[in-house]
């Protein structure tokens, strides 16, 4: 059993996209010379801005809200990087220089890891669905108390979970089944909240039946995203055509000037 290669992620004005070569998934009958761009799970879900976020931005003000958002995102990224570092068999030699919120997030994860006897199979793995046309990066897949499943870790100041979190995990669930069926066949999904203030965790679980139901909701969300995205696609296509025409005019003018100079 080999780990599938990670897809390359890039950003454009419409969001985050994954560059996937069909030859990464040999089960699909595609020309391996082709490249497919798939929208990220997070890009699809960006259109579903939670009401609490709008209220929070209103209370804090845009500038302060964005500062807090960027700071907490950095803490979350660092926590995930340290978790991956440990899963790969490394040891954190010193806590010096690590922000306290990151330390608490890592403490919470270690406690969860011990409580569930987590045995990782893959971590920070890009997974993609060519059946449903999307991609994303899954935190981890492995065994908790000998039960195969996927896990997603979220850092925060509370233990609150939102419905959109399960849509995200359901998308990873299906994509993992397509991308690496030889490595993991998940029977459950775990959403683990790592508290940045207390260093404790809280775990939420769904079984296979519940995840299939959540995935059906994800597919509905994806269709809504495609509908809302259509005007953006048309705008970008028009802009690309205008740019192409402009470049052709410049080339044409440059060619004419060159001929005039020769004469």
Query: CATH number, domain at 114?
Result: 3.40.1350.10
- In contact, 180 and 141? CB cutoff 8 Å: yes
d(CA 98, CA 92): 11
What tens digit of pLDDT does each residue of 182-229 get? 788 899 999 999 999 999 999 999 999 999 999 999 999 999 988 887
d(CA 263, CA 257): 10
In the predicted model, what is the mean pLDDT of residues 128-135? 89
Q: Is there a domain that residue 123 lies in? A: yes
What tens digit of pLDDT does each residue of 98-125 get? 999 999 999 999 999 999 999 999 999 9
Which helix (H) or strand (E) is 226 found in, with range?
Answer: helix 208-262
d(CA 183, CA 121): 7
Q: What is the pTM of this model?
A: 0.80
pLDDT of residue 259: 35
Q: Is there a domain that residue 235 lies in? A: no
Q: Domain range spanning residue 108? A: 40-222
Res. 157: pLDDT tops 80: yes
Q: How many domains does the chain have?
A: 1
Q: Is there a domain that residue 254 lies in? A: no
Q: Is there a domain that residue 110 lies in? A: yes
The 8-class DSSP code of residue 23 comes to: G
Q: Is there a domain that residue 204 lies in? A: yes
Q: Is there a domain that residue 145 lies in? A: yes
% of the chain residues with pLDDT over 90: 48
Q: Tell me the three state secondary structure of residue 263.
A: coil
Band of pLDDT at residue 23, cut at 50, 70 and 90? low
For the chain, the average pLDDT equals 83
Q: Is there a domain that residue 81 lies in? A: yes
The 8-class DSSP code of residue 134 comes to: E
Q: Tell me the three state secondary structure of residue 4.
A: coil
In the predicted model, what is the mean pLDDT of residues 52-70? 83
Q: Is there a domain that residue 245 lies in? A: no
Res. 239: pLDDT tops 60: no
């Amino acid at each position: 059993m080999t780990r599938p290669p990670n897809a390359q992620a890039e950003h454009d004005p419409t969001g985050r996209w994954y560059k996937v070569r069909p030859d990464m998934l040999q089960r699909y009958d595609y020309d391996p010379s082709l490249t497919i761009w798939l929208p990220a799970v997070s890009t699809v879900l960006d259109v579903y801005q939670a009401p609490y976020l709008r209220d929070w931005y209103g209370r804090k003000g845009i500038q302060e809200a964005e500062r807090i958002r960027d700071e907490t995102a950095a803490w979350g990224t660092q926590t995930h990087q340290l978790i991956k570092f440990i899963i790969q068999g490394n040891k954190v030699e010193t806590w010096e220089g690590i922000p306290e919120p990151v330390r608490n997030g890592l403490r919470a994860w270690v406690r969860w890891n011990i409580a569930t006897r987590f045995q990782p199979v893959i971590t920070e793995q890009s997974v993609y669905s060519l059946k449903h046309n999307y991609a994303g990066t899954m935190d981890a897949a492995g065994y908790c108390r000998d039960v195969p499943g996927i896990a997603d870790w979220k850092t925060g100041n509370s233990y609150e979970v939102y419905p959109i979190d399960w849509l995200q995990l359901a998308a990873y669930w299906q994509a993992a089944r397509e991308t690496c069926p030889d490595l993991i066949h998940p029977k459950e999904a775990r959403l683990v909240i790592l508290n940045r203030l207390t260093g404790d965790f809280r775990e939420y679980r769904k079984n296979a039946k519940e995840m299939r139901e959540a995935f059906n909701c994800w597919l509905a969300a994806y269709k809504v995203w495609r509908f809302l995205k259509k005007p953006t696609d048309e705008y970008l296509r028009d802009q690309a055509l205008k740019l192409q025409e402009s470049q052709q005019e410049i080339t044409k003018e440059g060619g004419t000037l060159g001929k005039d100079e020769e004469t």
